[in-house]
Structure 1
Amino acid sequence: MTTSSQPTYRMATAADIPAIVALVESAYRGESGRRGWTTESDLLDGQRTDAAGVADALSRPGSCILLLEHDGQPLASCQLERKGEAAYFGMFAVDPARQAGGLGKRLLGEAERLAREDWGCRLMEMTVIVQREELIAWYERRGYRRTGQFAPFPYGDERFGIPRRGDLRFEVLVKRLAGEAA
């Protein structure tokens, strides 16, 4: 039996829920999240997601979770949800020990390709906590633009974490997907 030398993409199934929760939590919370640069540990305590939230994302019509894995081990994941001519990109996580190696860029590119080619979407949208300037700059280098549209942080709903400050909010970022017909 041979093993793959390159990471591969696949759609997650219900069997992947525990691995996805562990990956997302490791990338965003606690000490493991501090190993990577995407941590929210200085902004939020508590959980980033849970099994029920991942199961909901997997079961909702027009929603999926895309995995980038190597030899069956998830290295990165993201949720995509079709919303008309736009696809929403969220719950993006890369194993903190593997960050800064191009995996996130590769998964984002595959998510954009899927949204454009398989779903016929013209736009990719996401929300990012405004205090995450370094992350917003990373998205801007990949063609996303700040819209000036904001959404409130869900204070009081511990499913999204326990805020460490009172000024959190999200900004909508958007990218026109390349290759669309004029």
Structure 2
Amino acid sequence: MDTALPQDADALTYRDATEADVPALVELVESAYRGDSSRAGWTTEADILDGQRTDPEGVREVIATPGSRLLIAEREGTLVACCQLEHRGDAAYFGMFAVRPGLQGGGLGRRVIAEAERLAAAGWGVREMHMTVISVRDELIAWYERRGYRRTGRTTPFPYGDERFGLPLRDDLEFELLVKDLVPPRA
């Protein structure tokens, strides 16, 4: 009897990024958020920020930082998404989330964030996932809310004047903390 499972054409594999992945990761993150290429997807920040979203040094720092990992999602060996996970006590921080623009809107991001949550809870035993989102990104925040994240109302200022985070096209930007319980709270 053949017990082999059918090959899933949409199968994703996950692995931690290495130094060799840095150029491809920078290109992926930039393509998902900045410039005209980002307009092919719905996560673009091109109308609120110009300039860079990340750079090779920033990606290398995430890869090298203890308690941090840059998770890569691949389909048939091709980089299709990534996200940062950082262990912060009882919580994990989720950031640098990018899905290739032409693949956005098809459920890939939902699968990647679910895997990131699973890995953080299983690997670090954390009870919550934290992330920060630019507060004017209503559509993106609504997407996270549908995945169980809640707005906290806690904000931090956007780093105006620090070009590593982009060149703001508006003067009302700030980050809001979103939180999701990964395991039920203790009774």
TM-score, scaled relative to structure 1? 0.95
* Counterpart residue type for residue 151 of structure 1: T
Q: Deviations over 1:93-135 (max 9, x none)?
A: 0000000011100000000001101110000000000110000
Question: Hey, what's the Cα distance between the residues in 1 that align with 2:125 and 2:27?
Answer: 31
After the TM superposition, which segments of 4 or more aligned residues of structure 1 sit over 4 Å from their partners?
Answer: 179-182
- Deviations along 1:4-46, one digit per CA (max 9) or x if unpaired, are 8312111111111111100000000001101100000000000
Structure index of larger Rg: 2
What residue in structure 1 maps to residue 167 of structure 2?
A: 162
Structure 2: which amino acid aligns with 1:8? T
Deviations 1:76-105 (A, max 9, x none): 100010000100000100000000011100
User: What 5-or-longer segments of structure 1 have no aligned partner?
Assistant: none
**What percent identity do the matched residue pairs reach?**
63
Provide TM-score, normalisation by structure 2: 0.93
Distance (whole Å) between structure 1 residues aligned to residue 119 and residue 185 of structure 2: 13
Give secondary structure in 2 for the equivalent of 1:39: coil
Once the two structures are TM-superposed, the CA of residue 70 in structure 1 deviates from its matched residue by 1.0
Asked if the contact 2:128–2:183 (Cα under 8 Å) also holds between the matched residues in 1, the reply is: no
Task: Number of aligned residue pairs: give it.
Answer: 180
Q: Which amino acid aligns with 1:96?
A: P
SS in structure 1 of the partner of residue 85 of structure 2: strand
* SS of residue paired to 2:114: helix
CA distance in 1, matches of 2:105, 2:170: 27
Q: Aligned pair in 2 of structure 1 residues 66, 179: CA closer, same or farther (>3 Å)? A: farther
Residues 86 and 180 of structure 1, relative CA distance in 2, 3 Å threshold: same
Question: Does 2:121 match 1:116?
Answer: yes
Match of 1:35 among 24, 33, 40: 40
Give the secondary-structure state (helix, strand or coil) at the position aligned to 2:60. helix
Q: What secondary structure does 1:81 align onto? A: strand
Q: In structure 2, how many angstroms separate the alpha carbons of the residues matched to 1:155 and 1:179?
A: 37
